[in-house]
Amino acid sequence: MSYVAPLKDMMFVLNELAGLAAVNALPGCEDATPETVEAVLEENAKFCSEMIAPLNWPGDQAPSSWRDGVVTTTKGFKEAFKAFGDAGWQGVQHPVDFGGQGLPKLVATPCIEMLNSANLSFALCPLLTDGAIEALMTAGTDAQKKTYLENLISGKWTGTMNLTEPQAGSDLAMVRSRAVPQGDGTFKVFGTKIYITYGEHDMAENIIHLVLARTPDAPEGIKGISLFLVPKFMPNADGSVGARNDVHCVSIEHKLGIKASPTAVLQFGDHGGAIGTLVGEENRGLEYMFIMMNAARFAVGMQGIGVAERAYQKAVGYAKDRVQSRDLTGSAGPVTIIHQPDVRRMLMTMRAQTEAARALSYVTAAAHDAAHHDADAATRKANQAFYEFMVPIVKGWSTEMSIEVASTGVQIHGGMGFIEETGAAQYYRDARILTIYEGTTAIQANDLIGRKTVRDGGANAKAILAQARQTVADLEGSDSADLKAIRGRLADGVQALEDVIDFVVGNARSDIKGVFAGSVLYLKMAGIVLGGWQMARAALIAEQKLTAKSGDASFYRAKIGTARFFADHFLAQASGYRAAIVEGSAGVMALTEDQF
């Protein structure tokens, strides 16, 4: 089954929940009119479905390969990537000054979702390049920007992030790669980096590695890490590709999923030293790398939503085609399995979670735009706080959700889901990495507790809950049985989440292990409650549209039904999460090490 972008839902979320009109009114966002955005999304949907999606299955069956230091990508990837760059898709959200389209993050976000739905392995290359662009825009010198940004934004060159080493995974304080100054403004970089996505490939004429390393006099720990720009080929003065640099791919990994994406082991400096230049100031490398990582974490959340959408579409197609058993209320013969209540339940779990995560992520993207473009300083600050709180939730909850959704898709296929030829298993295998790379779910949860909740005493979290409570109040006047049910579930969920926030803030100092024992549950609960908040907003707007007899009545009724399902089946879980977090730490820490 081919991928069909859910444009109607995307445009609904953009316009009604994320406030596209308000983003369009921001300084610098004047080009993002509803008409322009709809045209951009339609063109992107066509490109992703016709050019990129057909390469997804072949990439899983015939992955990228390594031979003598050279990586050859799946047949068709190179041509598709050139078409991607030529069409300007790498530059949707990047500055016009460097060849981008300069559109808001809110517009780029559905484009990113569609690309990931179409082909997760392919989409990883632009994702890493986006991160490199963000880092150079923030900390690069004028010379670095001039040399590299236009080539990266055009898709002519691609970018990577080089953090992990064999002994340094999540603990970057253990990074041991070295950068030795040469006295002419350059450094020679030595070391081994692992898990480098698209660290070597044949889709672009140059690859720009952003590498964490230590200078000779750097202090130990994370305070002694600097960021270096190390190109595969040294650029000539005229911007053309010059001599080969001393960075080589010694192998690529054999993986459970995302097989077409080459995950490289890179060796820097085996033949005298890889030439690099410092990005920003010495010993501030981790700070700059986190700029890349924050952009990448949000994008990985979109990967989760993209894979979930594709798995859902696959499951719906199968459920409508597969004939098996009679209808429970009686039928002349066997019916398609979509007639069976439990198949409907499974499809609704897939649909409701995907739509809730999409809504929450698009609203988060709109906050990013307001944080960067609004004329009022206080508004910028409030939106930045909202965005920063949401990033670990978008990354952590959306990716955990994607595994569940993809697994449910396999279940709907029954035995055929376990057979590779149907394609359902690929989404399950591909999704499995999403909760691991760019910071595991536990790392996102630690961030949500430490930096985003405890640091300000829960003030920002409570401010967000106040917005959700306003939606509860807005629902109060409705006579709809569905909206009344949604209102009750949301009110209970918001209160349960506030109880958890109070527990986290109140006990982080006195019982830190007890608090962190529930950290991932807190993140998931926040995703469910805040995603449920967005679904409640969507249901209210849909009800208003139906009352006004405005637009597609079937779409709005489906939106209300999906929101009701989410409230009854997911928001209803909030009280259980509250109990597990507030009262469940004793069981987590009950056994001694020897008892495991």
User: pTM above 0.95?
Assistant: yes
pLDDT band at 289 (very low <50, low <70, confident <90, very high): confident
Verify that 137 and 199 share a domain, yes or no. no
Calpha distance 202→78 (Å, rounded): 7
Query: Is 450 inside any structural domain?
Result: yes
Report which residue type is found at 399: T
Calpha distance 526→577 (Å, rounded): 10
Q: Which of 153, 175, 197 is the last residue of a domain?
A: 153
Cross-strand pairs, 268:
191, 247
**Of the listed 113, 400, 438, 543, which one is catalytic?**
438
Query: Is 382 inside any structural domain?
Result: no
* Whether pLDDT at 340 is above 90: yes
| 30 given a catalytic annotation | no
Mean pLDDT, range 59-68, rounded to an integer: 98
* Whether pLDDT at 249 is above 70: yes
Backbone angles phi, psi at 281, to 5 degrees: -100, 155
Q: What is the CA radius of gyration of the chain?
A: 24
The helix/strand/coil state of 197 is strand
Do residues 117 and 48 lie in contact, with contact meaning Cβ atoms separated by under 8 Å? yes
Report the sign of the C-alpha dihedral through residues 244, 245, 251, 253, in that order.
negative
Residues 6+ apart with CB under 8 A from 121: 56, 59, 60, 74, 258, 259, 260, 261, 430
Query: Is 560 inside any structural domain?
Result: yes
Query: In the structure encoding, which two tokens stand for residue 97, read together?
Result: 């000054």
Verify that 271 and 170 share a domain, yes or no. yes
**What is the predicted pLDDT for the residue at 292?**
82
* Whether pLDDT at 1 is above 70: no
Residues 6+ apart with CB under 8 A from 184: none
Do residues 175 and 165 lie in contact, with contact meaning Cβ atoms separated by under 8 Å? yes
**Burial class of 174 by CB neighbour count within 10 A (0 to 12, 13 to 18, 19+):** middle
The helix/strand/coil state of 63 is coil
Q: Which of 239, 264, 283 is the last residue of a domain?
A: 283
Range of the structural domain that residue 475 is part of: 445-591
Verify that 450 and 563 share a domain, yes or no. yes
Mean pLDDT, range 274-302, rounded to an integer: 94
* Whether pLDDT at 291 is above 90: no
Q: Which of 153, 185, 213 is the last residue of a domain?
A: 153
Q: Parallel, antiparallel, or unpaired: how do β-strands 241-244 and 226-231 relate?
A: unpaired
Percent of the chain clearing pLDDT 70 (strictly above): 100
pLDDT band at 170 (very low <50, low <70, confident <90, very high): confident
Residues 6+ apart with CB under 8 A from 464: 386, 389, 530
Do residues 165 and 152 lie in contact, with contact meaning Cβ atoms separated by under 8 Å? no
| CATH number for the domain harbouring residue 257 | 2.40.110.20
Residue count (the chain): 596
Verify that 148 and 24 share a domain, yes or no. yes
* Whether pLDDT at 294 is above 90: no
Mean pLDDT, range 136-155, rounded to an integer: 97
Query: Is 480 inside any structural domain?
Result: yes
Query: Based on the structure, what is the number of domains in the chain?
Result: 3
Calpha distance 348→309 (Å, rounded): 12
Query: Is 428 inside any structural domain?
Result: no
| CATH number for the domain harbouring residue 75 | 1.10.540.10
Task: Indicate the helix (H) or strand (E) that contains 113.
Answer: helix 105-118
Verify that 102 and 222 share a domain, yes or no. no
Q: What angle do CA 201, 207, 208 make, to 5 degrees?
A: 150
Q: What is the pLDDT of residues 212-237, one digit of tens each?
A: 999 999 999 999 999 999 999 999 98
